[in-house]
Amino acid sequence: MIRRLINKVFGKKPASGPRILPQEAHGIRREQVQSCALKTTRALREAGYAAFIVGGAVRDLLLGREPKDFDVATDATPEEVRRVFRRARIIGRRFQIVHVYCGADLIEVTTFRAATPQAEDDEDESRVTAEDGMLLRDNVFGNQEEDAARRDFTINALYYDPEKQEVWDWHGGFEDARKKVLRMIGDPAQRFREDPVRMLRAARFAAKLEFHIDPATRAPIAELAPMLERIPASRLFDEMMKLLLSGHAERGVRQLRAEGLHHGVLPMLDAILDDPDRQKFIHAALHDTDERIRQGHSASPAFMLACLLWFDMQAEWRRNKDTGQSAQPALYDAMDAVLDRQRDALAFPRRFDGTIKEIWALQSRFEQRSGARPYRLLDHPRFRAGYDFLLIRARGGDATEELADWWTRFQEVDADEQARMLLPAQTGDAKRKRRRRRSGPKPAEAIEVRLD
């Protein structure tokens, strides 16, 4: 029924078919495909449907990279897909997909979607388009050609048939991959308007793959970047984190800046990147995070957020103290204020708050290097994150190298040497104690941080 409607709206047949590349041309071997993806395509085919590996996995295999995950595209509807598998469920509303499980592995199965009509032609309620051409819901099914046309970049519209070991290329993605060009399918301005998040995706893929953005694709971005403000904050947050935790964030951000594209394209980074002091710190943070990811370690969104918001938090804290608040309450108020402000713009989940605050609050404790305190800090469950953060501060010019080196060494040496490393109790400590006794009980770990 829906197909018939689509045919009525579009009323046209493919002008030309895909370019079909045999195994010798594309070089992808079936064994490189995750077995759960192979099982999924096989089961769909045996049930009489078309099924291909599609998107990032084909692109990455073609480029000799290891795919992050394997997506499958099919002409079966989500309901039909669900019926083929024992363990499968339909998820999503804006964009329905089916999750198929084999053991702990998960494959996302997507039904071929139709190409996007103009907003004024759109009467079907399974697709909702806003006045300015932005696609709000997208569940209109179509054939493979239409599915290829609604994808974002040519290199993301390659379909791999594991049975015949062929790659079906509808938009010249194979050539573009060879030339390292990131090219939008269709009219770039229109496609960015439909979904402004594609601008962030362009930046992310260009950085990750070391591709350059085709000039026609790049041209409308500067003007359309403000449209990102209309994207639901949670989606923006996910996309930003993908970019910042891709293992190629530093290059990505530098590239955006070089092209003048960071305004609006990376909300929140705008201000940070235009301030030379903060820039050094942020690049240290991005560089460090990239390194960790490339070495196979994890990098958490909470840590990245703690980096991004550190300067705002310190400024807010200083302001609070200037109004006469004492250090610790001023710190806690500043942390809450900064996180709440950013939550409005970026909707990052509250579950990160605890970690972010701990990383921040630990920073002043690194200054305290006498008595029992350094040992207590070593035992803190967030010591590692706090210490990593300190290293970044040192590299970014926000803490001394001497302090960072001291903590590096303190962890490495034996107990005798640790004891020798401790600094003598500062005279200030004694004064503080006297003051505390006079003014009644204070929290056990009074917080004091150098802000200069």
Provide the binding-site residues for Mg ion, judged by CB under 5 A.
56
The distance of closest approach from Cβ of residue 191 to Mg ion in the complex, given in angstroms and rounded to an integer, is 19
Residue 238 binding partner per list ligand ATP, Mg ion, none, with a CB distance cut-off of 5 to 8 Å that depends on partner kind: none
Q: Work out which of 26, 193, 198, 357 binds ligand ATP, going by CB under 6 A.
A: 198
Near ligand ATP by CB under 6 A: residue from 197, 202, 273, 330: 197
Residue type, position 13, single letter:
K
Please, what is the minimum distance in Å from the beta carbon of residue 94 to Mg ion?
17
Site for ligand ATP in 156-185 (CB under 6 A): 156-157
372 CB-near residues (< 8 Å, 6+ apart): none
Task: Provide, rounded to whole angstroms, the least separation between the CB of residue 78 and ligand ATP.
Answer: 15
Burial annotation 204-239 (CB, 10 A radius, 16+ → b, else e): bbbbbbebebbeebbebbeebbebbeebebeebbbb
In 61-165, where do the E strands start and end?
Answer: 71-74, 88-91, 97-102, 105-111, 127-129, 135-138, 158-161
Residue 447: phi and psi, rounded to 5, are -100, 130
CB-nearer residue toward Mg ion: 69 or 175: 69
Residue nearer to Mg ion on the CB measure, 60 or 398: 60
* Least distance to Mg ion, CB of residue 69, Å: 5
Structural tokens at position 174: 């194979």
Number of residues that bind ligand ATP (CB under 6 A): 12
β strands within 85-126, DSSP E: 88-91, 97-102, 105-111
The distance of closest approach from Cβ of residue 10 to ligand ATP in the complex, given in angstroms and rounded to an integer, is 18
Tally of CA atoms within 13 A in the half-sphere of 339 that contains its CB: 21
Residue 151 binds what, of Mg ion, ligand ATP, none (CB under 5 to 8 Å, by partner type)?
Answer: ligand ATP
Quote the least distance from Cβ 147 to Mg ion, whole Å.
Answer: 15
Q: What does 247 bind: Mg ion, ligand ATP, none (CB cut-off 5 to 8 Å by kind)?
A: none
Give per-residue burial for 177-190: e unless 16+ CB within 10 Å, then b: beeebbbbbeebbe
Closest residue to ligand ATP, judged by C-beta, is: 56
Q: Which stretch binds ligand ATP (CB under 6 A): 120-128, 148-156, 308-316, 341-349?
A: 148-156
User: According to the binding rule CB under 6 A, does residue 71 interact with ligand ATP?
Assistant: yes
What is the residue-wise DSSP string for 411-450?
HHS-HHHHHHHPPPPPHHHHHHHHHHHHT----SS-----
56 vs 133 by CB, closer to Mg ion: 56
Residues 18-57: x/- map of binding to ligand ATP (CB under 6 A)? -------------------------------------xx-
3-state secondary structure of 220: coil
Burial class (CB in 10 A: 0-12, 13-18, 19+), 343: middle
With CB under 5 to 8 Å by kind, the binding choice for 197 among ligand ATP, Mg ion, none is ligand ATP
Question: For ligand ATP, which residue of 152, 166, 214, 290 counts as binding (CB under 6 A)?
Answer: 152
Out of Mg ion, ligand ATP, none, which partner does residue 198 contact, by CB within 5 to 8 A per kind?
ligand ATP
DSSP state letter for 120 = G
Enter the tokens of residue 439: 């003014």
Say if CB 286 and CB 244 are below 8 A apart. Answer: yes
- Check: CB of residue 111 under 8 Å from CB of residue 95: no
CB of 3 to ligand ATP, least distance (A): 21
335 binds, among ligand ATP, Mg ion, none (CB under 5 to 8 A by kind): none
CA atoms within 13 A on the CB side of 280: 9
Question: Residue 152 binds what, of Mg ion, ligand ATP, none (CB under 5 to 8 Å, by partner type)?
Answer: ligand ATP
Catalytic sites, residue numbers: 69, 71, 152
- Under rule CB under 6 A, residue 195 binds ligand ATP: yes
Residue with tokens 């958490």: 300
What gap in Å lies between CA 262 and CA 247, rounded to an integer? Answer: 18
The residue ranges that bind ligand ATP (CB under 6 A) are 55-56, 68-69, 71, 151-152, 156-157, 195, 197-198
